[in-house]
Amino acid sequence: MHKPLSNISQMGRRGFLGLAGVAALSDSLLSRKRVVRALLAKDTLAENTGSSAGSSRGLPPLKITDVRVIVTCPDRNYVLVKVLTSEPGLYGVGDATLNGRELAVAADLEQHISPLLVDRDPEKIEDTWQYLYRGPYWRGGPVQMTALAGIDSALWDIKGKRANMPVYQLLGGRTRAGALAYTHASGRNFGEVEDVARRALERGFKCVRAQVAIPGLEGTYGTPGNKTPEAAAGRVANMAELPQTELFEPAPYLRVVPRLFEYLRAKLGPEVELLHDCHEKLDPIQAARLAHDLEPYHLFFLEDCLRPEYKESFRLIREHSTTPLAMGELFNSLWDCVPLIKEQLIDYIRCDLGHIGGITAARKVAALAELFQVRTAWHGPGDIGPPTHAANVHVDISIPNFGIQEMVFFPDVTREVISGGPEFKDGHMNVSDLPGLGCDVNEEAAKKYPYRRAYLPTARRKDGSVQDW
Ligand code: EZ4
Ligand code: CO
């Protein structure tokens, strides 16, 4: 049904206020009052954005009946979203994990977002995205964008299940057989990094991100400190109740990293693709020097050199080096991506689908990037849940300008709670042809692993001042 939208605008503010207090009403006022009630109640006008009949022929209209938020710690903390619908057995699963601020996202979902969604049509993904992004007036930020990503993934999951298609089909269908993946190799010294990299190559990987401990700075991001690489695999069990503080100094880091890649190139040969993550630790001229010094070793890319606020500083790095650059895991706004892409200051945009607003946001980033010959490299660490990894790969295999996909293997205990998700084979990630995203959550199993407060580490310089981790 199409309600007369024009009544509302004609009424204007005076009419609106006047009507609210009127007791005796004429026929025409009665119909106006209905519109006013609609405005005063909830987002009823959403039903006016088009037919609310089921989009798939012959299916009845669908409504969201409940949004369940599951906070669980199967090896590390995850926030999962389950959007239930009026069709028996039809629900969507999303991931809304923000490492170290999980409960803020869970509260946002439970207290603020869930009441807005009940009774809405889950098939209106774009409308829901716009409503949750612009509707609260206070837009953006990692907490809200992570919550929005969780809902967005769940809605794409529902749409896929309803259409009986994997999400990548809804996004336009396959453009490639699989998503080229990279894994992490880290060690206490060059030899240990080489060993871990070789094991990855034996497992089928073609691309390896290498990080090494810097003497005197044990525990630098991505390195195992003085533990073995296995023991240091950043799980919650290894984390303190309060953040651990690591030490960072740029001078030794900038000396050691080019030597690591000189060593790895010599040992592993020219074909393996090598990557390195600076984890937003460097100042612009330091990043420029590192990118320059790494040139002879032909990295696939140098990841996240600068703090996310300093987009224009990428120009300086570009002026000094042909090392390909990737950036974006800390972005939580679509608009963060715009200057880097449109000025071709980077080669890979690597947003985190779980923190920038889900598939709905990612497909816009990817489309913008395509127009400027920038490729994608979505963030794929262990501290975002399998539904986000699934979302990554559904997008990867359906866009023309995919670059590479960061990935992890989830331990059995995580998979007991969250099943499905992408699979690794021959250096590539792929998703099954299950309808939707292809993940499920076992709520009973989740209860066995209650949330445990945990923080990411922090970093300081030797003089005690704060340093980006
Ligand atoms: O440190 O996801 O490229 N991957 C990364 C990750 C991030 C974590 C932070 O929560 O940089 O390991
Ligand atoms: Co990174």
Residue 225 pLDDT:
63
Per residue in 146-202, pLDDT (tens digit) is 999 999 999 999 999 999 999 999 999 999 999 999 999 999 999 999 999 999 999
Residue 223 pLDDT:
77
Read off the tokens for 469.
């981790």
CA dist 124 and 336 (Å) reads 25
CA dist 325 and 302 (Å) reads 5
Are 337 and 307 spatial neighbours (Cβ–Cβ below 8 Å)? Answer: no
Question: Which of 154-158, 233-237, 273-277, 451-455 is least confident?
Answer: 233-237
CA dist 398 and 410 (Å) reads 24
Residue 41 pLDDT:
58
CA distances from residue 170 to 122, 149, 164, 180, 437 in whole angstroms, order as listed: 15, 18, 10, 21, 11
Residue 53 pLDDT:
52
Residue 221 pLDDT:
83
Identify the three-state secondary structure at position 438: coil
Set 91, 133, 168, 221: catalytic member? 221
Per residue in 247-259, pLDDT (tens digit) is 999 999 999 999 9
* Rounded distance from Cα 217 to ligand 1 centre (Å): 19
What average pLDDT does the segment 194-214 reach?
A: 97
For a pLDDT cut of 70, what percent of the chain falls above it? 84
Residue 231 pLDDT:
56
Read off the tokens for 417.
């709670």
Nearest Cα residue to atom 11 of ligand 1 = 279
Place 23 in a pLDDT band, splitting at 50, 70 and 90: very low
CA atoms 62, 67, 68, 70: torsion sign: positive
Residue 467 pLDDT:
95
Closest CA to 80 of 365, 419, 350: 419
User: Does 393 have pLDDT greater than 70?
Assistant: yes
Read off the tokens for 42.
């909830």
Which single residue is written with the structure tokens 């592993």? 268
* Rounded distance from Cα 155 to ligand 1 centre (Å): 26
CA angle 134, 135, 139 (to 5 degrees): 45
What average pLDDT does the segment 6-11 reach?
A: 35
Q: Which residues line ligand 1 (CB under 6 A)?
A: 99, 277, 279, 329, 379, 381, 383, 406, 456
Per residue in 314-366, pLDDT (tens digit) is 999 999 999 999 999 999 999 999 999 999 999 999 999 999 999 999 999 99
HSE, side-chain direction, 13 A CA sphere, residue 72: 23
Residue 47 pLDDT:
63
- Counting Cβ atoms within 10 Å, is residue 166 exposed (0-12), middle (13-18) or buried (19+)? buried
CA dist 284 and 307 (Å) reads 9
Identify the three-state secondary structure at position 188: coil
Per residue in 79-136, pLDDT (tens digit) is 999 999 999 999 999 999 999 999 999 999 999 999 999 999 999 999 999 999 999 9
* Rounded distance from Cα 273 to ligand 2 centre (Å): 16
Which single residue is written with the structure tokens 């109640």? 41
Residue 227 pLDDT:
61
- Phi, psi (degrees; rounded to nearest 5) at 25: -130, 140
For a pLDDT cut of 90, what percent of the chain falls above it? 81
CA dist 335 and 303 (Å) reads 19
Bridge-partner residues for 208, per DSSP?
A: 183, 274
**Atom of ligand 1 minimally distant from the CA of 209:** 3
Residue 60 pLDDT:
85
Set 184, 276, 279, 428: catalytic member? 279
Catalytic site residue 279? Answer: yes
Nearest Cα residue to atom 4 of ligand 1 = 381
CA angle 286, 291, 293 (to 5 degrees): 90
The neighbour count for residue 51, using CB atoms within 10 Å, is 11
What average pLDDT does the segment 39-57 reach?
A: 59
Which ligand has the minimum distance to the alpha carbon of residue 383? 1
* Rounded distance from Cα 379 to ligand 1 centre (Å): 8
CA dist 451 and 387 (Å) reads 19
Residue 293 pLDDT:
98
Residue 224 pLDDT:
72
Nearest Cα residue to atom 10 of ligand 1 = 99
